[in-house]
Amino acid sequence: MKLYRTSKGVLLEFEDTFYLVHSDWSDLINSDSLYQECESIIKGGEEIKNGKEWITDFLMKPIEGQEIWATGVTYFNSKMGRQEEAEATGGGDFYERVYHADRPELFFKSTAERAVGHQEKVAIRKDSTWDVPEPELTLCISPSGKIVGYTIGNDMSSRSIEGENPLYLPQAKTYDRSAAIGPCIFVTDKPFPSDAKIYLEISRDGQQVFEGSVGVDQIVRKFEDIVAYLYSHSTYPKGCFLMTGTGIVPIQPLR
Ligand code: DO4
Ligand code: MG
């Protein structure tokens, strides 16, 4: 089941049919029983015939006041890429250590206001010479710490700033339009499909300059463990989104 936030109202898509949802977006995605609520919306049967048009023409980012957090170095590829680049500046060891440690890397990524939605433009810093998109499975987490849904996130990163010194990470990661999220929230009562794959294609002027893919089963941590660290000494009254790290690392600066 997929939930979309549009300027005409909230829509639930199930088996190619769209249903109107009468709840406020944040109240809805903050519910610990989101899956059951979606089931009753379908039973209610208020179908919207031109739902496809709503999600094409009136789509909004699926986030209102939630914070976006991110974890990293959760895939071997990310650990290796960053380790190599930080070796020159003496920071390589941190990535090796965090990859194996109990405590995950967690960093604040974005407020809802700074983030953009599906097919909106992200930004590249003017003071950066190497920039990559990081396509990441993103968890939608309720205020109680329950994972209620999933979406797609782009953790845009300045690799040149991050590579210069790990202490520059907040500047490499957090700036206006550095996070993209959406298009929808995928709701399931089963564990996230372990055979799901993430694909990335980068094109310049219509020419493909990079493509890559990774299976989400390559993540070395359990989602619940990362969420436990995130929620251990912080509250999220409006819920929160958590990007789960990238496994696709373009190695060359692309021009
Ligand atoms: O430690 C740097 C950031 C890691 C990251 O964003 C990722 O692995 O996705
Ligand atoms: Mg990342």
Render pLDDT for 179-238 as a digit per residue (tens, 0 to 9). 999 999 999 999 999 999 999 999 989 999 999 999 999 999 999 999 999 999 999 999
In this predicted model, what pLDDT tens digit does every residue of 3-45 receive, in sequence order? 999 999 999 999 999 999 999 999 999 999 999 999 999 999 8
- Single pTM value for the model: 0.96
**Please, are residues 78 and 104 in contact by the beta-carbon 8 Å criterion?**
no
Ligand 1 nearest-atom number relative to CA 73: 8
Tokens 């950066």, residue located: 128
Backbone angles phi, psi at 192, to 5 degrees: -60, 135
Ligand 1, atom 5: closest residue by C-alpha: 72
Cβ of 67 closer than 6 Å to ligand 1, yes or no, is: no
Contacts of residue 160, defined as CB under 8 A and 6 or more positions apart, other chains included, come to 128, 129, 130, 131, 253
Contacts of residue 201, defined as CB under 8 A and 6 or more positions apart, other chains included, come to 208, 210, 211
Among residues 42, 213, 29, the alpha carbon closest in space to that of 137 is found at: 213
Q: Assign 3-state DSSP to the chain and report helix, strand, coil percentages, each to 5.
A: 25, 30, 40
- The two tokens of residue 74 are 């959760």
Helix (H) or strand (E) holding 141: strand 135-141
Domain 67-243 belongs to what architecture?
Alpha-Beta Complex (3.90)
Q: Which ligand is nearest to the CA of 179?
A: 2
Q: Which ligand is nearest to the CA of 159?
A: 1
Domains of the chain, residue spans: 2-57, 67-243
Out of 75, 80, 105, 168, mutate this one to test ligand 1's pocket (max ligand atoms within 8 Å of CB): namely 105
